[in-house]
Copies of this chain bind each other. A is one copy, B any other.
Amino acid sequence: MNAEKRPTRVAIVGASGYTGAELIRLLLQHPHVELAVLCARERIAPRVSDVLPQLLGLCDLPVETFDAEAVAARADVAFCALPHGASIEAVRALRKRGVRVFDLSADFRLRDPLTYAQWYGAPHTATELLAQAVYGLCELNRDALRDAGLVAVPGCYPTASTLPLLPLIASNLLKLDRPIVVHALSGVSGAGRSASPATHLPECSEGVRPYKVAGTHRHTPEIEQTLSLTASRDVRVTFTPTLAPMTRGILATAYCEPQDGVTAQALVECAREYYRHSPSVSVLPLGTLPDTLWVRGSNRAHVGYALDARSNLVVAMGTIDNLIKGAAGQAIQCMNLSMGFDEGAGLRMAPTWP
């Protein structure tokens, strides 16, 4: 980027939740942008450090009530980190005023409004925007993201679940007649900043529990959409999200029958080839199994593979930090592609280990 160019002015709508906080943290370090506006629905404050004390001495912007006009006047780009449903109106208002929007809610991820209605319990109220929205899985849609005005940033589970499967499906290494089992673990920050009994430390720090199993979690159709588009056929998934007693990280493990003759090494090589130009994804060597700690605090995804010869099943694993590659970081990666910045700009930090 030309050093003389004015930095891109950025607004964050929904700045006081976990995704918003992570966007602030990452964008403060981004070489080509300037944080210009922070909006929230609940935690309005004269200084963002009043509601996010970790920003004391680092950012003094106020947290304002959302006003599309005011945002459009002061920002070129907006990240919307609102709950699903709440996002549609904000996105519409910003798009109408020409603001480029990266939406982290689920509202624009499902291409088919009927699927949306079926899983979210109400018809989609902005189908005209839905038609414009680009699904922001950068490794899949890199070209479509260039100059995109509205990007639906993928969910955390779908990102971790599809990244290890995409190369194998694209190269036709899997038999897809039967459903793929996807078992996924998530850290508790995936539940957001609102406290609840399920996230009360004494009731979740020393236990694991599945939730919304057997095809009832709303990330199921998103995973199926991505895999089906890649396979050019219907792919069915049974998805089991499980809460793990940690703050950040997703580990997704997928089970599927390989095409005849596929070897474990072939799985790794296929993924290496697929991700050779993807700065955020690393393929683990055969025999190395992933650990969410190895990606925590970064925009990185690790994918790894094993082949169970006894039961003839591929085990495909993916790990990400749910708040970064599963949310804020991936949104910035989308912005980089949309704006023509380097894809990894502001996203090169190594994982925080240990």
Q: Which residues of A contact B (CB under 8 A)?
A: 18, 21, 24-25, 28-29, 52-59, 178-179, 181, 183, 185, 187-189, 193-197, 199-211, 213-215, 220, 236-238, 240, 242, 244-249, 251, 253, 255, 279, 282, 284, 288-298, 300, 302, 306-313, 315, 317, 348-354
Contacts and interface: CB of A to CB of B under 8 A. Distances in A.
A71 B349 CA distance: 26
Q: What's the dominant secondary structure at chain A's contact region?
A: loop
Given A195-B196, A205-B246, A215 B251 contact: no
A251 B311 contact: no
Given A202-B354, A214-B315, A28 B348 contact: yes
B18 A202 contact: yes
A156 to B, nearest CB: 14
Given A28-B349, A57-B279, 13 more contacts: A56-B284, A58-B348, A179-B310, A188-B200, A205-B246, A206-B246, A206-B296, A207-B292, A208-B251, A213-B253, A238-B308, A255-B255, A297-B352
B54 A294 contact: yes
Contacts of A351: 25, 54
Contact of A208 (B18, B59, B185): B185
Contacts of A240: 183, 253, 315
Interface-central residue, A24, A189, A289, A354, by most chain B CB under 10 Å? A354
A189 B202 contact: yes
B207 A291 contact: yes
A255 B282 contact: no
A28 B206 contact: no
A210 to B, nearest CB: 5
B203 A200 contact: no
Nearest to A351: B54
Given A199-B195, A236-B310, A237-B311, A205 B54 contact: no
Contacts of A315: 213-214, 238, 240
Contacts of A188: 200-202, 205
Contact of A290 (B25, B55, B210, B317): B210
A18 B308 contact: no
A297 B300 contact: no
A293 B54 contact: yes
Given A195-B195, A294-B54, A309 B215 contact: yes
Nearest to A183: B183
B293 A203 contact: yes
Given A284-B56, A350-B24, A291 B251 contact: no
Given A208-B185, A297-B297, A195 B197 contact: yes
Nearest to A206: B246
A64 B215 CA distance: 37
A18 B201 CA distance: 13
A56 B207 contact: no
Contact of A209 (B214, B236, B290): B290
B25 A350 contact: yes
A206 B238 contact: no
Contact of A204 (B58, B201, B251, B297): B201
Contacts of A251: 208-210, 242
Nearest to A191: B202
